[in-house]
Amino acid sequence: MPGVYCFYMEIKPIAYIRTAFAEKFGVPRQSGLAKSLTGVIVFEKEFRNPDALRGLEGFSHLWLIWEFSANRPKMEKQGRGNVEWQPTVRPPRLGGNEQMGVFATRSPFRPNPLGLSCVKVAGIELMGPEGPTIKVTGADLMDGTPIYDIKPYIRYADARPEAICGYVDSLEERRLRVVLPSELSDRIEDKTVIPSLVETLGLDPRPSYHNDPEREYGMAFAGYNVRFVVRDEVLTVTEISAIEK
């Protein structure tokens, strides 16, 4: 078509993030829902330059642009460059039964598997063996997720409290009551991760269309396998065991 130009832009990760999530199950569905969750952004050697972070200390929040890297094996299995995208997906929050256009959702299965998350800056370490690094809270990313760009959150431009959010506006934000027996929490050596574990479990990691009170679920979190059941809006942890390395 006249006036239309096609080109390819090669992008590469500038950093990776370290979080408590070794697998997709249990990761919050959106950033900021579990505010106590921490993550550390570690830059690739090529980008470990403190000058690149100059002025960042004046911002409280960041936008992260990242890859749904857990989908990569599935895509590669189908053949690189031959992956067919689907125009509709079934959002889990709608029970997995209704179809919506992929561009009306935040599904990880997209033509370009890029994610966007807003996180809070908890600290910036300019020096050190891996410096500079950025500690953030509220991240909804798996451990090792590649990050392609970081941008500061700007309140006057990015905040839209009057926004209409389609079918999402009709969905209630529900949280479960979490019962974590002390004899199980005592097995966690690093006690600082317990609040973020409880907060994550309270978001109900199960698919929204699962409602079997007899089913036991398992979630990898901060080096532990956490098993639980959900009955009458109460999540009870039944087992915690260290994951063998």
Q: Are 186 and 242 in contact (CB under 8 A)?
A: no
E strands in 110-223: 114-125, 133-137, 146-152, 177-179, 217-221
CA distance 150 to 155: 16
pLDDT band, residue 236 (cuts 50/70/90): very high
| Homologous superfamily, domain 15-167 | YaeB-like (2.40.30.70)
Chain segment 159-199, per-residue pLDDT in tens = 999 999 998 888 777 899 999 999 999 999 999 999 999 99
Is pLDDT of 53 > 50? yes
CATH of domain 174-242: 3.30.2310.20
User: What does the domain layout of the chain look like in residue ranges?
Assistant: 15-167, 174-242
CA angle 195/118/115 to nearest 5° reads 110
Is pLDDT of 97 > 90? no
| H/E segment holding residue 198 | helix 194-202
Q: Are 182 and 194 in contact (CB under 8 A)?
A: no
What is residue 14's predicted lDDT score, i.e. its pLDDT?
98
pLDDT band, residue 80 (cuts 50/70/90): very low
**In what order do the strands lie in the sheet containing 224-231?**
177-179, 234-242, 224-231, 217-221
Chain segment 208-221, per-residue pLDDT in tens = 777 889 999 999 99
CA distance 224 to 188: 8
Chain segment 133-166, per-residue pLDDT in tens = 999 999 999 999 999 999 999 999 999 999 999 9
The pLDDT mean for the chain works out to 90
What is residue 79's predicted lDDT score, i.e. its pLDDT?
47
Is pLDDT of 222 > 90? yes
Chain segment 106-128, per-residue pLDDT in tens = 888 888 899 999 999 999 999 88
Is pLDDT of 82 > 60? no
